[in-house]
Structure 1
Amino acid sequence: MGPSHQPLTHVEINRMAICGLYVCTSGLLGANLGADEHDIILLGYAVIDVNTNQVLGLQEYVVKPSNCDLHSNFLSEDVKQETTLTEVAVRNSSLSLQNAISLFENYCRSLCVDPATLTIVTDGQCPLRQCLQPEASNKELELPPQYNRFCDLRKDVARHYRAGDSKFTSIQEILTFLDMPESGDTSFFGKEFKDMVNILQRMIHDGYKFDVIETVQLHLEPGICSKNEEVDSNCVVRARGLPWQSSDQDIARFFIGLNVAKGGVALCLSSVGRRNGEALVRFTNSEHRDMALKRHKHHIGPRYIEVYRATGED
């Protein structure tokens, strides 16, 4: 059971803030963040008052992973290059993922900010969709509601500064586009954490409202796909190796963080009408389909699931 909270005052409720969220696992970073199922080892939070453009608080939480051998060299080369974390620091942390999330909730209240009203901003889709949501689901943690909606900083920069067809893939690319220097601040574990804060403040200064919200679908919604409906092949995958007793909700849960289309899970049957451990899954767009493909050989319990491209005709 979480800690009890005092009712928020009127002043607290009116303090509107955004929260830059930085996520680092012990494995792959960048475009492949979360693709290897490695546990989160660092959460960075930057709370910024949108009315005053003041940084209300910066927090980093080093999280001890539960699904790796802490006596081995468990930090990837990506982590060693992109952060100042050491294996000793991670090994000596007393925080679980749940602890870190709860600590930040309480920290927000100390700033007179209701955490449920925060607008979370991430560097791309992966931090929430490919890391935090799947890990929380696997560990049966219920994330607070603010983690089910977010702004994608990369899309926001392109939108606000009319970058045309530019698709940013990193904080560094955004800094270059905005002609902003790297912060050079060495007081944080995440080397790009302060750069992200500086970009957020620049955008608030330039009048951006962070009001284009992406949502994270937590449950498969019912729906019917008619035989005459054209299905975009860029939105479909085939999952293989599923436990035979898997329901459509179980399969959607495997892809949690990604938005599956209504009624978008079709269980496949063998020639004799029995489930064959395969399913076709349709996502709301091609971006989510592409992230789904990166869950190839992710696990349901001890079993790994293969994920391949499929076609609308399937």
Structure 2
Amino acid sequence: MGAGVARVIGQIGRAAPLEVTVLVQGETGVGKELVARALHDGSGRRGAFVPVNCGGLSEGVLHSEIFGHERGAFSGAGAARGGLVDAARGGTLLLDEIGDASPSLQAALLRLLEGGEYRPVGSDQVLRSDARIVAATNVSLRDAVEQQRFRRDLHGRLDRFVIHVPPLRDRREDIVPLAQLFAHQLGGTEVTLSRPLALALLAHDWPQNVRELHAVVEQALIETGGTGALRLTDALEVRLQPSQQAAPAAVSPPREGPTERPTADQLRARLAALGGNIKALASELGIARTTLYRWLRAANIDPDSLRGP
């Protein structure tokens, strides 16, 4: 387990039993909803975990979905209906993609966060909620506040306990264990990864993060029949080629100027001298770890075989 994941797990453990509102930040696909579910599971709350995407529907429909509506509140509202806030009574309401919430929805959510109060669409009655609120976003709310796209007072309510989920490219030590876990969950049996596939996974940029890794493992299981070692098939090799749209920001930022690629023997010798420390060798060469993993894969070098005891 990498340090980033360990930190997230520690934060979940501290925040779960508290009544504090939690903001989960991270790129698309890093597993923000999994973090929110873990907060709910550790809270001891007996109510349901209820997620809602704050940018997934039109504004009028979204207000009705979240807060409910009275009969006749709008065309087609033939009967009163409780919303997701009511469904989360005694549980946890996840406000996913809260950075996409409209100004009017932000105002209604501020009231819910400040006093636990809300009003169904078409009703004059103010109701109360005891749902625990967790919000998630893949954008910087601070930047959104400065750009006047997000309410400063609402951000203040959310910015009490923040959990940042790091992208997969920043925790490469988790890639192979996660792939093995997904393979076991999807295949139902113990499955290993071939060395070429493991190196290809480590060299990939993962712009869609854990969600993309799950899809790749699923494809590998289908193409290899779900038994034995998962192989790097031609289709997977094409899929795992570096993308021009891949997220930048590697773990080890490259230095200025070009770096001459060492020979396979030079790479093997230097990596062995460093005890198989990928980060140290990438830093020494002035390249990103993704680049180093590609070089090792091309040279058929397994870093695990060179790691010290």
The bucket for the TM-score relative to the shorter chain is under 0.3
Q: Which has more radius of gyration?
A: 2
Larger relative contact order (C-alpha < 8 A, sep ≥ 6)?
2
Higher strand share: 1
Name the structure with the higher helix share: 2
Q: TM-score, normalised by structure 1?
A: 0.25
Query: TM-score when scaled to structure 2?
Result: 0.25
